[in-house]
A and B are shown apart, each in its own frame.
Chain A
């Protein structure tokens, strides 16, 4: 078993407010192997974006990491001083955000932004950096890269901009890219292109991707493993095929049933009653218990650990060894 590239152990992110401390991410643990694509999926308020932000140290105050560890190749990065963290960010971990329009500085040509990043993290000369920038642009599929490198962001369409953002993320040869909703703002036909591009880059550059999204379809096409988050906790984590086709956690099952597909037999969608609890009102025990159709007493008292099943792990008391018979 190779050493994981990124290891998150019991991460807790809190927001102190005058009404009390809100725990937005509560005891999240997972590993990402080198070159792997891990999808982190969840609905709004599940805490997936905050997890990504916490890993890379971009939490907006007053949010802060209140517990747990983040290890990159065995070394802790969550407790680094700001300057050291800044070096890690960009050099070893790249980020891709949702909105390509605001990820790029509209005042600078994309070539400038690329060469700046390359030089900052690799110390190449300006000419070499420019050459590498052109290579990157070709890699991400920008036509006529030699010419377009001097263009400004607004001269590109949405999909092209996101490709440039991917190029920027790859500029310093990072080991891991954290992509937060990279395809959400794009048209569906362009989404497919970007997904294919990400997979290709992942293979060619041997870079791992942490893909944060609410779109299960994107996960199905891109990820190797997926973690399903609910109310700041991981409900289920495992190989993508397993989680999607043979979901264990009642929430995951409900989620998969509510996604409209082209091939579903019934025309009526499965719906999960109620809605995700607000951060101020997370129930005791399992956060999903008020909405769960299989709820029993233990669920309301004790918060479930991640329990193993054949190939994945589920945070659900239905899968505790002694309860299997009633699952």
Chain B
């Protein structure tokens, strides 16, 4: 007597969001105050930076909208020139710090995200190839990764930056800064992705579903892409999240050192550098608010990444 298994229950297939909410990861999120707080802050910042033009009272990098008489207005007071209330105070040029924060955060986040995507694509591809193909190619890629990991990321970024400076025509420097920063930070961080993905690939490669694909004659590249990649992508997400915080900090460091974003299109790092000068002359708000913003961004992304790593770790559930 053969038994056909019961058909699946008649309820409609739940939507993706509903299923995610119900899953173990969703449950872990709902019950972790830290995760909720971190996610809320991050989302608020992203929202604020995306719509900065509409939220802020002025565009601080449009010279025409500035009034020099507003300079050095303390937080909460009205400017001497325009009469506008400066929530977080004004800097030496009369720029509203609140607005500058949002615009600066936007630049920081954009560069951070772009560089993470860059290093992710590069690292995952190299890791996948190294793990699957093996042999000399694997040895080469891993040695390059090892060598690179022995240098601090900042140094690598500085190096790339310097080379780029040399290669690019001086007149294009300012416009290319964004791209160069992305590539520099991206190149300094790919190695961890490559290592993790290679390790996972080595494990997945031995599994029988890969053999099954090879039995029907699939070549290496389709097997890697269609079969192995979806299974090694998990840890990559966690690394990417934590890396985002690091990338933002790295960008801030570079800008602080003077090799990053220029004051005309500043990131938080640039704002901090500029604000430094005024710390001991009493205008503390020019330094404090960008610093707090940077710390908040980095911390909330980091905490979210921490939670994500624990939530995705099957052993801890």
* Complex Cα–Cα for A11 and B1 (A): 36
Using Cβ atoms and an 8 Å threshold, which residues of chain B touch A273? 1-3
Interface residues of A, CB < 8 Å — how many?
3
CB distance from A278 to the nearest CB of B (A): 13
The reply on A18 being an interface residue by CB < 8 A is: yes
The reply on B51 being an interface residue by CB < 8 A is: no
The main secondary structure of chain B at its interface with chain A is loop
Using Cβ atoms and an 8 Å threshold, which residues of chain A touch B21? none
Annotate B12-27 by CB proximity to A: 1 below 8 A, 0 otherwise: 0000000000000001
A-B contact count (CB 8 A): 5
A18 and B27 within 8 A (CB): yes
Closest A residue by C-beta to B27:
A18
Instruction: Find residues 268-287 in chain A having any chain B CB closer than 8 Å to their own CB.
Output: 273-274
Instruction: Find residues 255-309 in chain A having any chain B CB closer than 8 Å to their own CB.
Output: 273-274
Annotate B27-50 by CB proximity to A: 1 below 8 A, 0 otherwise: 100000000000000000000000
Using Cβ atoms and an 8 Å threshold, which residues of chain A touch B3? 273-274
The main secondary structure of chain A at its interface with chain B is loop
Using Cβ atoms and an 8 Å threshold, which residues of chain B touch A18? 27
CB distance from B197 to the nearest CB of A (A): 28
Instruction: Find residues 130-152 in chain B having any chain A CB closer than 8 Å to their own CB.
Output: none
CB distance from B102 to the nearest CB of A (A): 40
Using Cβ atoms and an 8 Å threshold, which residues of chain A touch B1? 273
* Complex Cα–Cα for A274 and B3 (A): 6
* Complex Cα–Cα for A273 and B27 (A): 36
* Complex Cα–Cα for A18 and B2 (A): 35
Annotate A242-259 by CB proximity to B: 1 below 8 A, 0 otherwise: 000000000000000000
Closest A residue by C-beta to B5:
A274
* Complex Cα–Cα for A273 and B5 (A): 10
* Complex Cα–Cα for A71 and B230 (A): 51
Most buried by A among B2, B3, B27: B3
CB distance from A16 to the nearest CB of B (A): 13
Using Cβ atoms and an 8 Å threshold, which residues of chain B touch A274? 3
Closest A residue by C-beta to B3:
A273
Instruction: Find residues 42-60 in chain A having any chain B CB closer than 8 Å to their own CB.
Output: none
CB distance from A250 to the nearest CB of B (A): 14
* Complex Cα–Cα for A18 and B28 (A): 11
* Complex Cα–Cα for A18 and B30 (A): 13
* Complex Cα–Cα for A273 and B6 (A): 13
* Complex Cα–Cα for A247 and B3 (A): 24
* Complex Cα–Cα for A218 and B28 (A): 44
CB distance from B141 to the nearest CB of A (A): 31
Closest B residue by C-beta to A291:
B3
Using Cβ atoms and an 8 Å threshold, which residues of chain A touch B2? 273
* Complex Cα–Cα for A7 and B149 (A): 60
Closest A residue by C-beta to B28:
A18
Binding site for A on B (CB under 8 A): 1-3, 27
What 3 pairs across the A-B complex have the smallest Cβ distances?
A: A273-B3, A274-B3, A273-B1
Write 5 A-B pairs (CB below 8 A) sorted by A numbering.
A18-B27, A273-B1, A273-B2, A273-B3, A274-B3
